[in-house]
Amino acid sequence: MKRLAILAAALALAACGRAPDRLVDGSGRVVSGRLTALDGASATFKGFSVEIPGGRASVLLRSGALYRGDVSLESGTLSVSGDGIEASARLRDVAVITWGPASVRNLLLDVHAGSGWCDTHLYVERGARVVILAGGSSVVGTGTVGPEGLERTATTISLSPESLDGSLVGRIGEDGDPFTIGESWASVAETDGYLELAVNAPSTGAAAGYYTVSITVESDGTENLTAIFPGR
């Protein structure tokens, strides 16, 4: 639960203006500020620097594209290079940068409203790190909504009664407890099972539209993991 709280905090948006960039490591340390530079040994925030593991990193863009290589940051542009790959992106278009496990799986799929639980066919092991990003729109109840859901709770017959109506929700295993994903979610799996996603609505209700979802699973645990979540 401690890790869940830490990683949820790392994704929280600031109350106004651009959200801070946040660094989280396997010990639970959270550092936040304005990230200005990255090199092979340190992450430089405005006013201070933090050591990072170095070596290759996994870079997941908000578009769902995934790269792995050596990273650097200069003038707000992140560059990735290695194994013939040369890529760059604005920092605000990056969802997460991670150093640690090399065992990474990535999936891009559409989750349709009114279709109940969607089996992603991704088996998640306890201790694996999962990052989910979503976009798109659906029509549920009386309104059109994005992955964050409508500003009202769902009904008792919805797939996840504790989540907002129309929000993107998930569970690990058919008997797993549903949880809210929204537009972005990152956490450490506390159980084993196949990851399932859904648009939160009554399973028998009329709904339309879909969310396009990017999923990244790093399956070697998080003890040596360091991650940076750029703000927007």
The answer on pLDDT for 202 being more than 60 is yes
- Of 223 and 91, the structure prediction assigns the larger pLDDT to 91
What's residue 128's pLDDT?
85
For residues 61-73, one letter each, b for 16 or more C-beta atoms within 10 angstroms of the residue's C-beta and e for the rest, the string is bbebebbbbbbeb
Distance of CA 35 to the CA centre of its chain: 19
- Write the pLDDT tens digit of every residue in 42-98: 999 999 999 988 788 888 887 777 788 899 999 999 999 987 778 999 998 998 888
Six-digit token string for 184: 């972005």
Report the C-alpha gap between 217 and 189 in whole angstroms.
10
Distance in angstroms (rounded) separating the CA atoms of residues 30 and 146:
29
157 against 193, higher pLDDT: 193
The distance of Cα 96 from the centroid of its chain, to the nearest Å, equals: 8
Residue 196 — left, alpha, or beta (φ > 0 → left; ψ -120 to 50 → alpha)? beta
pLDDT digits (tens, 9 = 90+) for 30-42: 899 999 999 878 9
- Which residue from 164, 181, 160 is spatially nearest to 117, judged by alpha carbons? 160
Task: Using alpha carbons, list the distances in angstroms from residue 211 to 42, 97, 220.
Answer: 36, 23, 28
Q: What distance lies between CA 116 and its chain's CA centroid?
A: 22
Q: What local confidence, expressed as pLDDT, does residue 220 receive? A: 58
Which amino acid type is present at position 26? G
At 11, is the secondary structure helix, strand, or coil? helix
Q: How many whole angstroms separate alpha carbon 190 and alpha carbon 2?
A: 11
| Domain architecture of the chain: domains with CATH | 2-102+223-229 (no CATH), 104-218 (2.60.120.430)
pTM over 0.85, yes/no: no
Do 69 and 56 touch, CB atoms closer than 8 A?
A: yes
pLDDT of residue 13: 36
For residue 92, with 0-12 CB atoms within 10 Å meaning exposed, 13-18 middle and 19 or more buried, which class applies?
middle
Rg (CA), the chain: 18
What pLDDT shows up at residue 143?
Answer: 80
Confidence label for 102 from pLDDT (cuts 50, 70 and 90): low
